[in-house]
Amino acid sequence: MGCCHYHHVGEGCDNAFTVDSSRITFGRGCLAEVGDRARALGMKRVALFSDERLARLPHFQKVHQSLSAAGLDVVVYTHVHVEPTDQSFLEAARFAAETRPDGYISLGGGSVIDTCKAANLYATHPADFLAYVNAPVGEGRPVPGPLKPHIACPTTSGTGSEVTGITIFDLLSMHAKTGIASPALRPTEALIDPDCTATLPGEVVAASGLDVLSHALESYTARPYVRRPAPQRPSLRPMSQGANPWSDLGCREALRLMGLFLVRAVADAEDHEAREQMMWAATLAGIAFGNAGVHAPHGMAYAVAGLVRDFHPSGYPEGEPLVPHGMAVIVNAPAVFRYTSEVSPERHLEAAQWLGADMRGASPGDAGEVLAGKLIQIMRAVGIPNGLGGVGYGEADLAALTEGAFPQQRLLQNAPREMTRPVLTELFRQALRYW
Ligand SMILES: [Fe+2]
């Protein structure tokens, strides 16, 4: 049904799409393969990136032992900052430049995998930090060549970072999240072992699961690739190329799995089936958004996370205030999809149906309300705060949130409707409270 979107190429727009992905191994216990896979990629001296909490868990020992048993020299880096910053990236890059590994392994959530990508980038192709950072915040300079091989092993069913060429961080001087996007950053391989999620607190599964859900929804409703201006040269086609028939496949299945398993996976850590299916949904949605790109809920989330004052979510490490990424995304989502539904009501209705919404009597005119209503129901079922108000924001913050989100043009331009400053302010206003 979705393909009817792709028949008519807009004037001056792209007429083809490109499919990229990391090589993927998926299955319970597959972490033990890492040593053999690293050796097969020609690695001799590997940098193993993780964080201090994970370094005390059996998964870390398993990876370390597998690498050592394969005869590899292992140097360990665990000073990863949860929600990385430009400073923490530079520290990791210094470590990589000093230890000179010929390959990288990352074991952790998005923060660990993203830090590893950045360390690999700056140690392999040194440059001023802002050189590769997305414009207009940075120069947006293309990465000049391939990086060292990188095997990413995700331990949360969330970011999809293991299959994307994107790394996200907090630029401290601007109090804003931004990123680096290049196919060169995509890990060479992903080892996805659902056993890693067995020990995650329910709150973490909820936030990371809603990140996955939004990856799929945003990719499915993104501006179609045939409406994006054609690149100057085919090799400059962006990874955020817009919705396309390939990404649609992953979005559909990820949304269907979310509808079936998210609430179960949050409620019961012993529900191995639900947690495994969440991991598979995260993989599918990661492949989809790595080829289509997300849009406004993520663009707005960077401001929501970057401007945090005093929100301390349960289930996360104590210390600095934090709005977890998935939470920062999903609080914007109902408001955004009400707004975007006017452009492609049938896609919004399909998504609501896959998530399990009651579709009786629903017509295209109801699409935004039906999808937003289903999202709000899921948020409540898994204990997500009530909109921006629930994570500490009020009317007085709307201007700052708008200014924080507006520079995220790489994402905002991938939305199906124009995201001007006044539109963003109104969407943030509607996101203040949902129930
Ligand atoms: Fe995300």
pLDDT, tens only, 278-307: 999 999 999 999 999 999 999 999 899 989
The single-letter DSSP state of residue 343 is T
CA 82–ligand 1 middle distance (angstroms): 15
The CATH code that applies to domain 2-17+199-430 is 1.20.1090.10
Please indicate, yes or no, whether the overall pTM of this predicted structure exceeds 0.85. yes
Structure tokens belonging to residue 212: 């996955």
CA 214–ligand 1 middle distance (angstroms): 7
Q: Is 264 helix (H, G, I), strand (E, B) or coil?
A: helix
Q: Does domain 29-192 have CATH number 3.40.50.280?
A: no
Query: What average pLDDT does the segment 67-74 reach?
Result: 98
Closest of 265, 151, 269 to residue 208, by C-alpha? 265
Domain ranges of the chain: 2-17+199-430, 29-192
- Whole-number pLDDT of residue 306: 86
CA 159–ligand 1 middle distance (angstroms): 5
CA 326–ligand 1 middle distance (angstroms): 6
CA 29–ligand 1 middle distance (angstroms): 25
Q: How far apart are CA 274 and CA 267, in angstroms?
A: 10
The mean pLDDT value of the chain amounts to 94
CA separation (Å) from 294 to 41, 166, 418?
A: 31, 11, 14
CA 285–ligand 1 middle distance (angstroms): 10
The single-letter DSSP state of residue 50 is -
Structure tokens belonging to residue 204: 């973490």
CA 215–ligand 1 middle distance (angstroms): 6
Query: What average pLDDT does the segment 404-425 reach?
Result: 95
Helices (H), 141-227: 202-221
Pairing of strands 176-181, 166-171: antiparallel
Residue bearing the bigger pLDDT, 397 or 302: 397
The answer to whether 2-17+199-430 and 29-192 have equal CATH topology is no
Stretch among 4-13, 54-63, 97-106, 246-255 having the lowest mean pLDDT: 4-13
Structure tokens belonging to residue 150: 């990188």
- Whole-number pLDDT of residue 4: 52
CA 147–ligand 1 middle distance (angstroms): 23
pLDDT, tens only, 127-138: 999 999 988 889
Query: What average pLDDT does the segment 166-174 reach?
Result: 89
Query: What average pLDDT does the segment 167-195 reach?
Result: 91
pLDDT, tens only, 7-34: 789 999 999 999 988 899 999 999 999 9
pLDDT reading at 2 higher than 80: no
CA separation (Å) from 86 to 3, 145, 181?
A: 40, 22, 15
Percent helix, strand, coil in the chain, to 5, is 55, 10, 35
Rounded to a whole number of angstroms, the distance between the first and last alpha carbons of the chain is 33
Residue bearing the bigger pLDDT, 381 or 170: 381
- Whole-number pLDDT of residue 115: 98
Cis peptide bond N-terminal to 136, omega within 30: yes
pLDDT, tens only, 320-376: 899 999 999 999 999 999 999 999 999 999 999 999 999 999 999 999 999 999 999
The single-letter DSSP state of residue 346 is H
Q: How far apart are CA 229 and CA 281, in angstroms?
A: 30
pLDDT reading at 88 higher than 70: yes
Q: Using alpha carbons only, how large is the chain's radius of gyration in Å?
A: 20
Helix or strand run (H / E) with residue 177: strand 176-181
CA 211–ligand 1 middle distance (angstroms): 5
Residue bearing the bigger pLDDT, 247 or 21: 247
CA 299–ligand 1 middle distance (angstroms): 10
CA 161–ligand 1 middle distance (angstroms): 9
CA 74–ligand 1 middle distance (angstroms): 30
CA 190–ligand 1 middle distance (angstroms): 17
DSSP strand E in 16-131: where? 23-26, 45-49, 73-77, 103-108
